[in-house]
Structure 1
Amino acid sequence: MTGPSATSSGSTTKTSRHGRSKSTSSYCHTTGTPAEPTSSTAANNTERSSGEEDEKDGGVPFFVNRTGFPIDTVTWERMWSHVTKVHPDGQEMVDKIRNATHLPKHPVPSVPNFKPSMSVPDWLHAVQNYMRNLQYNHTGTQFFEIKKTRPLSGLMETAREMIRESLPIKCLEAVILGIYLTNGLTSVERFPISFKTQFSGHHFHHVVLGVYCNGRYGTLGMSRRTDLMDRSLSFRTLSELVFDFEDSYRRYQHTMKKIKIGLYVPHNPHVFQPIEWNYLVINACRQGCEDMRKELEKHGRDMRMKHCFVSQSAETAIKRCNCANYIGSASNPTTYWFRTMVQKNV
């Protein structure tokens, strides 16, 4: 883990007054007890960061590292103080780690390399395994600040920082990293899927990266629970995929409240536009399964149609550009004709 005395590259961002955020990288609690209990006063005084959800995750805010790397002393000590409160062994465990003269070096997972011989499912499996090897972040401090309104190009820089630091991540960070690692796979379309559930009077948030390829849907992601993470490319429709997640939540006595589906994320990592996170919002507690299915299927068709339209428009633009280049080239006889027309003011 990168402490205040470590040397590491990475951009530095401004620190907020409290340095904590509500559910942007959401917890997937499946028990009734919040993982990071804090006082109600601290929760009320929590500052909100751009792009976060409207509800606290389980009624409990969590800390966010807003100062980049290396982690500053305030963020570092705050993290350990929180761990002391929530870990079963408390201060004894913290002292054992922090006062150790020698700690074994944690293995850094290798970034997967795409090979032309790999199939799409194999590559998605390799990406998911890489994120799983980074491990889910249980410290109560999110190491990478993710602002949903930030341009895609900026979020891709954060993804590169995740790879450099190789620290545990949460679900929202996994979505950004999944987008980055699949940018070169143009046959796969990516889009965010967000869930809001309720358990024991509290609301919980989670997000995964939906993937679509060759008429099949799946997901990439991170969670405390293995059945709330990735899904293979085996679902024929978007509704089948979403309902499968709902079934998993039901096994943990969570009630689905809202489902938010975004739009396809561009494969160009340099575009200066934010990700569309909430293009379709479904109120699951007010709509029946059939109505939800129809909305999800319509959204899936709309995304595919818009993608085809954009692709055709881009292809037409390229053809026009090539045509213009040909007309303007010196070797093209049409160039002489255009010049003659101009000279004669025809």
Structure 2
Amino acid sequence: MPGGKAGGADGAAPRQREASEGAAQREEEQEDDGDEDLRDGGVPFFVNRGGLPVNEPTWERMWRHVAKIHPEGEKVAQRIRGATDLPKIPIPSVPAFQLSTPIPERLEAIQRYIRELQYNHTGTQFFEIKKSRPLTGLMDLAKEMTKEALPIKCLEAVILGIYLTNNMTTLERFPISFKTHFSGNYFRHIVLGVNFGGRYGALGISRREELMYKTPTFRTLSELVFDFEEAYRRCWHTLKKVKLGQYVSHDPHSVEQIEWKHSILDVEKLGREDFRKELERHARDMRLKISKGAGPPSPTKDRKKDVSSPQRGQSSPHRRNSRGERRPSGEKKPADSKAMPDLNGYQIRGQGRSWNAKTPALVQRLQCCLSTPRSVVCCTKAAHGICPIG
């Protein structure tokens, strides 16, 4: 290089490594904050940041995405937009349970409901999930999901799973994130881990059946994670990293944040046995937090039951908050969700769908035309005919 020193070439490699590490760090921050439109396996997917109903620029971006990835291009987008025979799309019923309904049966019903919403193939995530939001804000967003009944992606399914299990006080919930590698690209996926009676399972949604629901029958956390790893292996994906969060509070009004990555495990660096040990160490950490954090009944127990949980019963066990997070014992949170400030700018609508009558049918048509052709497009670029998953 002109003006450079003889040692410049030697210094280039460290600078390249630093640049690569910096890019990886920014990628991790982007993933954690949810502030940027994302890529999964090199394929971009967008986030609707304008709330509901979807604004015109977001719709136009969706149509451009359809024209770009569908084999028929612009023709299919125009055909859907000009359709007049659009049927009314029903809203799936949120599961309701008797007190006597066993927890495993409830989990199966919740998973069926998540499936009925469908995996989102449109290329745009309809609900903006900021992981830094307090739990109460995320539960308001989950309530919005049940009203709108739109297709969802894996992170939305985790928030919805927390919302629908809030009244199951004997069930513990925690996030499990996976990072895998296939055909030169990285893929990310997340599920809601559950622990009932000392047995582990999971709720979630994915393009792949084996990467979502797991019945709570696994004796240890490592058995559950290894089952996911084997499922990835059958899809020709290599598991690179696993992030494990802590148990999530059952209080839908909690202002604490979900701890998404209490443990970050690099699968290759650890080796099999150390990976198993770290998973079991995390399981012990979660149990210890529960035993130490069991405190008095939540001061929010007298709040109206219909604010953020569809089936909330008796008061849930309370994770001990810091003093700054506690409310005075006589202070009650307003029951009207409209009176609650939205701490991160997401608009919460009133009862019922905020769409016009045509929109759900358009979304459904997008689902139908993109779910299968998307696989065709991706398989032409990937070895072994394996499509992106997650």
TM (norm. structure 2) is: 0.66
Q: CA deviation at 1:308?
A: 1.6
Higher relative contact order (CA 8 A, sep 6+): 2
The question of whether the paired residues in 2 share the 8 Å contact of 1:56 and 1:203 is answered with: no
- DSSP 3-state at the match of 1:286: helix
Find the partner of 2:191 among 184, 202, 208.
Answer: 208
**2:151 is aligned with 1:168:** yes
The question of whether the paired residues in 1 share the 8 Å contact of 2:241 and 2:266 is answered with: yes
Q: CA deviation at 1:90?
A: 2.7
Find the partner of 2:260 among 270, 277, 292.
Answer: 277
The question of whether the paired residues in 1 share the 8 Å contact of 2:178 and 2:188 is answered with: yes
**2:91 is aligned with 1:108:** yes
Q: Show structure 1 runs of 4+ deviating over 3 A.
A: 47-50, 52-56
- Separation in structure 2 between the aligned mates of residue 229 and residue 88 of structure 1, nearest angstrom: 29
1:94 partner letter: A
Matching of residues 125-136 of structure 1 within 5 Å? 125-136=108-119
1:251 partner letter: R
- Separation in structure 2 between the aligned mates of residue 275 and residue 90 of structure 1, nearest angstrom: 41
- DSSP 3-state at the match of 2:87: coil
The question of whether the paired residues in 2 share the 8 Å contact of 1:195 and 1:207 is answered with: yes
- DSSP 3-state at the match of 2:270: coil
Find the partner of 1:142 among 116, 121, 125.
Answer: 125
What's the counterpart of residue 287 of structure 1? Answer: 270
- Separation in structure 2 between the aligned mates of residue 73 and residue 49 of structure 1, nearest angstrom: 26
- 1:52-103 Cα offsets, whole Å, 9 max, x none, are 4998421333211000011100001110110121123333322222112221
The question of whether the paired residues in 2 share the 8 Å contact of 1:146 and 1:172 is answered with: yes
- DSSP 3-state at the match of 1:138: coil
1:69 partner letter: L
**2:232 is aligned with 1:249:** yes
What's the counterpart of residue 58 of structure 1? Answer: 41
What's the counterpart of residue 310 of structure 1? Answer: 293
What's the counterpart of residue 88 of structure 1? Answer: 71
What's the counterpart of residue 227 of structure 1? Answer: 210
- DSSP 3-state at the match of 2:260: coil
The 3 A distance-change label for structure 1 pair 103 and 150 is same
The question of whether the paired residues in 1 share the 8 Å contact of 2:176 and 2:190 is answered with: yes
- DSSP 3-state at the match of 1:297: helix
- DSSP 3-state at the match of 1:207: strand
- DSSP 3-state at the match of 1:70: coil
TM (norm. structure 1) is: 0.75
Unaligned segments of structure 2, at least 5 residues: 1-25, 300-316, 318-390
- Separation in structure 1 between the aligned mates of residue 166 and residue 206 of structure 2, nearest angstrom: 22
CA RMSD of aligned residues (A): 2.2
The question of whether the paired residues in 2 share the 8 Å contact of 1:171 and 1:221 is answered with: yes
The 3 A distance-change label for structure 1 pair 75 and 116 is same
Moved more, 99-108 or 190-199: 99-108
What's the counterpart of residue 158 of structure 1? Answer: 141
What's the counterpart of residue 249 of structure 2? Answer: 266
Q: CA deviation at 1:309?
A: 1.8
The question of whether the paired residues in 1 share the 8 Å contact of 2:134 and 2:257 is answered with: yes
Q: CA deviation at 1:128?
A: 0.5
Find the partner of 2:221 among 229, 238, 241.
Answer: 238
What's the counterpart of residue 11 of structure 2? Answer: none
- Separation in structure 1 between the aligned mates of residue 190 and residue 31 of structure 2, nearest angstrom: 17
1:228 partner letter: L
Identity %: 59
Unaligned segments of structure 1, at least 5 residues: 1-43, 319-346
1:144 partner letter: F
What number of residue pairs does the alignment pair up?
A: 271
The 3 A distance-change label for structure 1 pair 49 and 247 is closer
Q: CA deviation at 1:287?
A: 1.2
Q: CA deviation at 1:182?
A: 0.3
- 1:105-157 Cα offsets, whole Å, 9 max, x none, are 12211110021121000000011000100000000001000011111111111
1:259 partner letter: V
Give the structure with higher Rg (CA): 1
- DSSP 3-state at the match of 1:206: strand
The question of whether the paired residues in 2 share the 8 Å contact of 1:49 and 1:147 is answered with: no
**2:108 is aligned with 1:120:** no
- Separation in structure 2 between the aligned mates of residue 133 and residue 87 of structure 1, nearest angstrom: 24
The question of whether the paired residues in 1 share the 8 Å contact of 2:35 and 2:130 is answered with: no
1:178 partner letter: G
- Separation in structure 1 between the aligned mates of residue 44 and residue 185 of structure 2, nearest angstrom: 12
